[in-house]
Structure 1
Amino acid sequence: MNSGDGKPAQVAANTLRGGQFRYYDFMMAAFVAIILLSNVLGAGKVSQVWLPIYNDYWPFGAGILFFPVSYVIGDVLTEVYGYARARRVIWAGTGAVLFMAFMSWVVVALPPAPSWGNQAAYETIFGQVPRIVLASVCAFWAGEFVNSYVLARMKLWTGGKMLWTRTIGSTIAGEGIDSLIFYPLAFLGAEGWTTTLVIQVLFTQWALKVAWEVILTPVTYLVVGFLKRREGVDVFDEGTDFTPFATRV
């Protein structure tokens, strides 16, 4: 579907309904894997980083190592395949997180064998606190849709130029919504979490995630360019129904 000059053909997203792509499934799998890793390994741990400007350590959530990558992949999905296909991936990620939370609860609740003495450690690692699960799912869902919507709209406004403005701009908006929902809903009033700590981690997470996006911008350019050339399309969301409550493409 390349144009005559060898460049990806510019097409409206709604003309591709039902079409097949080479790498879309791989991008979906990578996105879901990153979401699950971020929820299993990083959501509940607070680490710290030394900031010379403050001459002190500053707390941050360990999920920063994983979760921002999902926004980069989300940017690539929307930029290359359009909002509708990104929306489908977001719903797949949401379903995966919910299933993971349910199965974690089931497995932790199973009575351990008397000869197995690791139940307490297992509960510490994989036990799901309901409010954290709720906060994680709500924040992920809202943040990813804001990210995808802003990027798709900005692509129309910029005519597909200046990719960096929409990847960074959409991340500022999407990660902002994500952090504003997740940290107060998950940790405000929880044991070990003061209001000041929640606010510190919230803004630190937002700033670090946006910084991650900026740092990874060259990588985003490479991946987007590669996928557009291999898929042979450059999708613009003209006439797209931007409701998040659908999975059709």
Structure 2
Amino acid sequence: MTRSAHITAMSADRVDGGRLRHYDVVMAAFVAILLLSNVLGAGKVAQVRLPLIGDWPFGAGILFFPVSYIIGDVLTEVYGYARARRVIWVGFAATLFMAVMAWVVVALPPAPDWRNQVAYETIFGQVPRIVFASMCAFWAGEFVNSYVLARMKVLTEGRHLWMRTIGSTIAGQGVDSVIFYPLAFWGAEGWTTHLVVVVLFTQWALKVGWEVLLTPLTYWVIGTLKRAEGLDVYDRGTDFTPFRAGV
């Protein structure tokens, strides 16, 4: 079944991995954004002043972390659920290594003439808890996102991409936020219960909003990759278990 002269629609189990030219680049981008968002963005609460509402807190990671979900959509839409699953497990392993590395580096005794240990502990000392919460939320949320998108693609026969990307984000980011914020910040210093709940729902709404705003970019990236790879993958007959990393 051919979509155009250059894009062929096929079932995921028929895709020849050796012909995929850009899959590794998309995987690298996904993992890089995931790690940087966890280190630089997740622990800081920023604040903006909204008209008619006043000051409103939000997690700084919202500015960049949703890009990983968009890349997740691209992976599932272009390469299929199984290859997206493989990337999710690679990201999970990279996040675990980052958590172990942060714990070891913070725990190492500083040299007597190095004066930045306290600042280093302040910045990175809470990373293990945040990363643990992020790993649980990321794992569940990404698989929900990928599963919903893949199923919807088959049901809609490849039509209404915007419906698939936004719908899967509503589900995936909802699961992600409900798991992440209580695990990461409930009872943490500077975080009241009210603040956790407000940031949780704010983040979920903003992440979905980001997906909506970036829909034209998502369309362009997906279309470009499909043309470059020459295929359009459908997950018919796919084993959707998340408990494997193989394709």
Distance 1:4 1:175, change over 3 A: closer
Counterpart Cα distance in 1 of 2:100 and 2:131: 10
- In the TM superposition, residue 92 of structure 1 has moved relative to its aligned partner by 0.5
Give the structure 2 partner of residue 167 of structure 1: 165
Decide which moves more: 181-190 or 74-83.
Answer: 181-190
112, 118, 131: which is aligned to 1:114? 112
Counterpart Cα distance in 2 of 1:223 and 1:118: 42
- In the TM superposition, residue 133 of structure 1 has moved relative to its aligned partner by 2.3
Counterpart Cα distance in 2 of 1:17 and 1:226: 19
Matched position secondary structure for 2:236: coil
Task: Assess if the C-alpha contact under 8 Å between 2:137 and 2:175 holds in 1.
Answer: yes
Decide which moves more: 156-165 or 9-18.
Answer: 9-18
- In the TM superposition, residue 18 of structure 1 has moved relative to its aligned partner by 4.2
- In the TM superposition, residue 45 of structure 1 has moved relative to its aligned partner by 0.6
137, 140, 143: which is aligned to 1:139? 137
Counterpart Cα distance in 2 of 1:36 and 1:71: 13
Counterpart Cα distance in 1 of 2:226 and 2:17: 18
Q: CA offsets per residue over residues 8-64 of structure 1, 9 Å max, x none?
A: 10100011264441100000000000000101001111011222131x111110110
Counterpart Cα distance in 2 of 1:5 and 1:73: 24
Matched position secondary structure for 1:220: helix
196, 199, 203: which is aligned to 2:194? 196
Q: Which amino acid aligns with 1:25?
A: D
Distance 1:214 1:117, change over 3 A: same
Give the structure 1 partner of residue 72 of structure 2: 74
137, 146, 149: which is aligned to 1:148? 146
- In the TM superposition, residue 128 of structure 1 has moved relative to its aligned partner by 3.5
TM-score when normalising by structure 2:
0.96
How is 1:1-249 mapped onto 2 (pairs within 5 angstroms)?
3=2, 5-16=4-15, 18-54=17-53, 56-249=54-247
Counterpart Cα distance in 2 of 1:130 and 1:107: 12
Q: CA offsets per residue over residues 71-117 of structure 1, 9 Å max, x none?
A: 00000000000000000000000000000010011111111111111
Counterpart Cα distance in 1 of 2:11 and 2:183: 38
* Corresponding residue pairs, total: 247
Task: Assess if the C-alpha contact under 8 Å between 1:61 and 1:201 holds in 2.
Answer: yes
Extract unaligned runs of 5+ from structure 2.
none
Q: CA offsets per residue over residues 198-239 of structure 1, 9 Å max, x none?
A: 110000000000011011100000000000001000000000
Counterpart Cα distance in 1 of 2:4 and 2:154: 22
Counterpart Cα distance in 2 of 1:101 and 1:131: 9
Decide which moves more: 44-53 or 172-181.
Answer: 44-53
Matched position secondary structure for 1:204: helix
Counterpart Cα distance in 2 of 1:131 and 1:41: 14
Matched position secondary structure for 1:116: coil
Counterpart Cα distance in 2 of 1:12 and 1:4: 13
- In the TM superposition, residue 134 of structure 1 has moved relative to its aligned partner by 1.7
TM-score when normalising by structure 1:
0.96
Counterpart Cα distance in 2 of 1:230 and 1:205: 34
Aligned residues: CA RMSD = 1.4
Counterpart Cα distance in 2 of 1:40 and 1:24: 25
Distance 1:5 1:166, change over 3 A: closer
